Amino acid sequence: MRAGNLKKRIIQNDPIHKSKMVTRLVNTVMLHGKKTIAESTVYHAIDMLAEDKKEGLRMFEQALKNVMPQQEVRSRRVGGATYQVPMPLKHDRAEALAVRWIIKAARSRKGKPIQVKLYEELKNAYDGVGDAIRKRDETHKMAEANKAFSHFAKFN
C-alpha cells in the first residue's frame, strides 16, 4: 500500500522563453545533471525552428500539442483477468509523454548532433509526421481497440 499523496513540484519558467514546457523539455533532455548543456541543446533546436524567437517558441508549443495523446490504456485487474482499459489523460501526464516521446525519437536518430536531431523531430512533430506522432497514433489505436473494456475505468 502506498503512503500518502506526494506534493506536486512546481516547475519554474525557463529564463529565455518564459515557458514551463521548455523547462520540462530541458529537464528531460538533461543527462548526468548537466543542465547548461541541455539548455543550450534545447535553445539551439528551438532557434533553428524559426528566426524569430517568439515564432520558434510558438512552433515548439504546437509541435508538443500535436504529439500529446488524449487517451492511454492502463492495466486493470478485474476478477482474475487483466484488461487494458482506455482512460483519458490529464494535461500534465499528456505533456510528459509528449516530451518523452519527442526526446526518444530524437535520440534514436543516428549520425547528427543532438541539436539537429531534436530540431528535426520538433519540425516533424509540427508537421504532423515522425516517430513521436506515430507513437501517439499507436497509443490512440490501442485505446480504440480496447474501448469495450472502458466500463472497467470507473472502478479505479
pLDDT, greater one: 46 or 78: 46
Residue 80 is part of a domain; what is its CATH number? 1.10.455.10
Which residue in the block uniquely carries the three cell numbers 499528456?
94
CA quadruple 45, 50, 54, 56: dihedral sign: negative
For 58-94, b/e burial (b = at least 16 CB within 10 A) is: ebbbebbebbbbebbbeebeeeeeebebbbebeeeeb
Global pTM reads 0.90
76 Cβ contact list (under 8 Å, min separation 6): 82, 83, 85, 149, 152, 153, 155, 156
- Whether the per-residue pLDDT at 10 is higher than 80: the answer is yes
Give the per-residue pLDDT at 133: 96
Answer yes or no: is 5 within a domain: no
Tally the domains of the chain.
Answer: 1
Answer yes or no: is 1 within a domain: no
Answer yes or no: is 26 within a domain: yes
Answer yes or no: is 11 within a domain: no
Which residue in the block uniquely carries the three cell numbers 548532433?
113
| Residue-number span of the structural domain to which 125 is assigned | 20-155
Answer yes or no: is 12 within a domain: no
Answer yes or no: is 2 within a domain: no
- The predicted-structure confidence for 126-142, as pLDDT tens digits, reads as follows 999 999 999 999 999 99
Answer yes or no: is 60 within a domain: yes
